[in-house]
Structure 1
Amino acid sequence: MSESTQPLAIDTDSGTVRATAHRPTPDTVVYTLGGAMRGQVHVTGTHRPDRWDQFTAVRVSAGACDAVHGLAPIESLPRLRSSATGYTGYLLRWPEATGELENSRGFESSAGNSPSPRTQRALAAVFRAIGEDVRTHADFPRLLDASRERETPGLVRFLAWSARRSEGEAADHTREGEQCRRAARTAADAWLTAARWIVTLSHPAHVLVLAVVLGHHAGSLFHAAGSSAWLAEYREQMAAEEHARAQRLTAELVSLRAQLQRRRPASS
């Protein structure tokens, strides 16, 4: 992507911002701001937040390419023309059947202060317009491919670790659920035994003790059986959720590895 001859014009409450795009690296587009705003905004491709293997999202960042590239010099942070305060933040956008979805981190200065409402609106308008503009570039698919190549090796390692962790968590929950089921059955059997005993007792003190044991209160067999059964259901639900998560992560891991293998011959 060569430097644009026609800057993008963005109308904001603070005036018109002009954004000129150039591509310093295969996986990054930098927009240099002019007009009502100064500084730079970086754009990279990335995966959807809900699908690690689908690289269809763009990340529009204030002063940095992405979370792993570190912070850019303070002087490159976007700022209003009349202000010396630059701001960091990012906007993530990805397509859905219903339209573009987005997620963002609020803007703040290098000192950790939030912008004024007017500045916030101007920054949001600029980031949204840039996120829309970059998708119109003819070489946008190559930006996504380059970002996929950059992120996939790290994502493969992360997903493999996450899948193993979820399977381990599922096994732990399953084991604890089985223990709770056994405890619930033991308490229920003891309650039934005590209930049979109480009808054979004649001494009031013995009857009173068993009545306390059979009652519905903390420490009773009835309570122990019920609470253990509830904990068993909870552990079984958690095991199912972790197992489903591990299956999803494994499927995305397989997809990413396949994408990496398909692109390896072309890049060698």
Structure 2
Amino acid sequence: MLRAICFDLDGTLADTEPLGHRPAYNRAFREAGLGWRWTAKLYRDLLQHPGGGRDRLRHYMQSYEPEWPEAMELDTSDPEALIRDLHARKAQHFHKIVEKGEVPLRPGVERLIGEASAAGVKLAVVSNASRGTVASLLAHSLGKTIGGQLDVVLCGDEGYAKKPAPDLYLEAMRQLGVQPDEAIAVEDSRLGLRAALDAGMATVVTLNKITRNEDFSGADLVVDSLGEPEAPTTLARPTLLNEGWVTLADLRAAQQRHASLA
């Protein structure tokens, strides 16, 4: 029996990475007087590194700009201070982008959440993102209607190991009061899929431009979007049950397939 759905946020509920996070980072770099610029390809590579925004900045500085203090003529012996400063600047720019309505929901998100809520299925958002980022999206992109239907919201800055570790999903299920075989995760990346599988959950993957070429072996359903009647899903492995978009019945079928293989 399907009792809970746990949604990832970035790339799953909204295309936050290309529309919000990457431009916000680049604006933060310019504002700080740095000559750095994250292209779409570079950012796609950086997203393969586990962790959140600060981890991504740290990895970039260590792997791509190892001589950044000298190259940028910055008088600092504390790279962590720069990371904190850049992440704070980036967060401010991200909030402004979201507040302007420039990061809409992906197709099918509002429909499926409404369908699940009406059926009494518990709902959670489980994200590596910070509480501030999630709160901004809940207030603007997701809207009060969707936000009001969520039973649990867990974020990556609240003391739990971040994906691909399963900790966030395990804590979400504890707070929801469900077992792994009673829940399903909706993800968009290989890192998120690993976290959900290691938590013992069935998993649906919604591809996007950044993640579509990743390896999603082990996923119970892979689609290019959750889909809408006016914007149907065009790729689905395995085939959807009755409609051209993902329904609650499809999630239940994916959960049952997972259980049969466990």
TM-score between the two structures when normalised by the length of structure 1: 0.24
Name which structure has the greater RCO, CA cutoff 8 Å, separation 6+: 2
Structure with higher strand content: 1
* Higher radius of gyration, 1 or 2: 1
